[in-house]
Amino acid sequence: MALYSAAAAVLEGLERGAGGVKALVFQSRFPLYALVSETLRYSPVLEEVLGGAALLQAEKKLSPQLAKVLVYDLLFGKGLKCGRRWKALARRHRARLEAELARLKVRRKVSRNEELLAPAQAGGPGASQVPRYVRVNTLKTCVDDVIDFFRREGYSYLGKAASVEELRSLSGKKFLLDLHLPELLVFPPQTDFHDNVLYTSGHIILQDKASCLPAFLLSPAAGSHVIDACAAPGNKTGHLAAILKNKGQIFAFDVDTKRLATMSTMLMRAGVTGFQLAQQDFLTVDPGDPKYSKVAYILLDPSCSGSGMVNRVPVAEAAPSAERLQALAGFQRKVLSHGLSFPALQRLVYSTCSLHREENEDVVGAVLQEWGSAFRLVDAFPGWPCRGLAAFPGAESCLRASAADTLTHGFFVAVLERRGDGAAASRSLPVAAGDTPQHGEGTEAGAAPRKRKRKKQRVKE
């Protein structure tokens, strides 16, 4: 009962404009994303079925949001997973609901549930073409074992992708190894692994490719001290720990207690050790504190407009106003400059999930100008197809991503390094998957290719 009530509360929050799907789901103690997303996707169909069956008229105390969640799981999901009250209600109305669904299929002249969905219900703009990216958590397993697991599940592995077009053409139960990132598997859009044992056990992380770029490009050496300045929900923190091989120290900051508690649970599930979470605004962290005297790497992914996020569910979000963008950019400049003030810093990666120049190139250009010759912008990923806008000389060293060009969420990444003898050497930047061995071998970030040992916990079905 609590699970469905929590999912209904998320739907009600969306209708009130209280936040986006991910933000509202993240505040709950239940794993709701798949249930809420699919309920939203089928929402127009559910409304027709509920109206035809007159369920809300028969059950006066049942809210429309709760009715949608229950009927989705009853008719389209894996069956109700609730206690007596809702199961009894479902039994009373099941025959009527199933009959109404059957009549709807006859009227639409379709035979499958998916065929009831209009193209728009496949997701927001660009969602239908963005693949499902799966990052292999190398703290618990390895790419070979995960590929073997999915083969046993009936998936067909097609090898390493040679182009973005290959990713675009994925369908059915086929998957590829990404052409850029060596521990990223790529599945067709709308593939759902939220209930898969590899996901629930922390062996795989459902993380968009663009979101994997910041930690990959920061590439901290094993044993390093690293700050994740705006850490929740924690996927990037976990990725950093995997790159560090759990050797070193990660200081992760966020201002929200609930988000940090959920993040702690997620990191523990992923096998992450050597991290300290702090409920603190990064701007209040003292760079002169001896605790941070060895921090050489900072990942900074501050609050932004989120204009690059591609919704897999049909939820419209208003574009940010000019005033909102100006306020965000002011905060972003302040927090980026603060990050550069840590005395032992060698490399900082600044990223946003925004498409707006005001939050991206303009922020980086202004802060570089403020710091003079102390830091430089690194051309960290020359093979990446989309570059920064020409807002200032050298801005093309920044990376951009989009659903249309890179089959990812919209994203921006800039890599800044300290100049001088203490700077991180360019040779320590990671090598793209295009320069790494094929499946069966592995490459450490910043190291020569070597034969990968089969290791860690072997994935079981």
CA distances, 168 to each of 110, 123, 154, 162, 348 (Å) = 26, 16, 21, 12, 32
Strands (E), 255-342: 275-279, 295-300
From the list 82, 142, 353, 398, the catalytic residue is: 353
CA distance 407 to 286: 39
User: How far apart (Å, rounded) are the C-alpha atoms in residues 395 and 80?
Assistant: 52
Residue 378 sits at φ, ψ, to 5 deg, of: -100, 135
Contacts 24+ apart (CB under 8 A), 233-236: 233/22, 233/26, 233/259, 233/262, 233/263, 233/266, 234/262, 234/263, 234/266, 234/267, 235/135, 235/205, 235/207, 235/211, 236/211, 236/299, 236/301
Please say if 82 is a catalytic residue: no
Nearest to 9 by CA among 185, 258, 18, 218: 18
Identify the bridge partners of residue 377 per DSSP, sorted by sequence position: 416
The gap between the terminal CA atoms of the chain, to the nearest Å, is 29
Q: Strand, coil or helix: what is 375?
A: strand
Which residues are identified as catalytic? 353
